[in-house]
Amino acid sequence: MSRKYPNRPLLGVGSVIVSDGRVVLVRRGSKPDYGLWSIPGGLVNNGERLREACARESLEETGIVVEVKELLEVLNRIVYDDEGRVQYQFVIVDFRAEPIEGELKASTDALEAKYVRFEDLKHYEITEAVKDLLRKAGIMKD
What would the DSSP string read from start to end of 64-119? EEEEEEEEEEEEEEEEE-TTS-EEEEEEEEEEEEEEEEE-----TTEEEEEEEEGG
**Dihedral (Cα; 3, 5, 7, 8), 10-degree rounding:** 60
Predicted local distance difference test score (pLDDT) of residue 77: 87
Smallest CA-to-CA distance from 104 within 69, 135, 65, 132 is with 65
What is the pairing mode between strands 86-102 and 10-19?
parallel
Percentage of the chain beyond pLDDT 70 is 98
Predicted TM-score (pTM) of the model is 0.90
Tell me the per-residue pLDDT of 31-50, one tens digit each, with 9 for 90 and over.
777 889 999 999 999 999 99
* Pairwise CA distance, residues 8 & 39, whole Å: 23
Q: Is 133 helix (H, G, I), strand (E, B) or coil?
A: helix
pLDDT of residue 1 exceeding 70: no
Tell me the per-residue pLDDT of 89-125, one tens digit each, with 9 for 90 and over.
999 999 999 999 999 998 867 789 999 999 999 999 9
Smallest CA-to-CA distance from 14 within 92, 78, 75 is with 92
Domain ranges within the chain, ordered by starting residue: 10-136
pLDDT of residue 72 exceeding 80: yes
Structure-model confidence comparison of residues 32 and 23, the more confident one: 23
Please identify, in words, the CATH class of the domain defined by 10-136. alpha beta
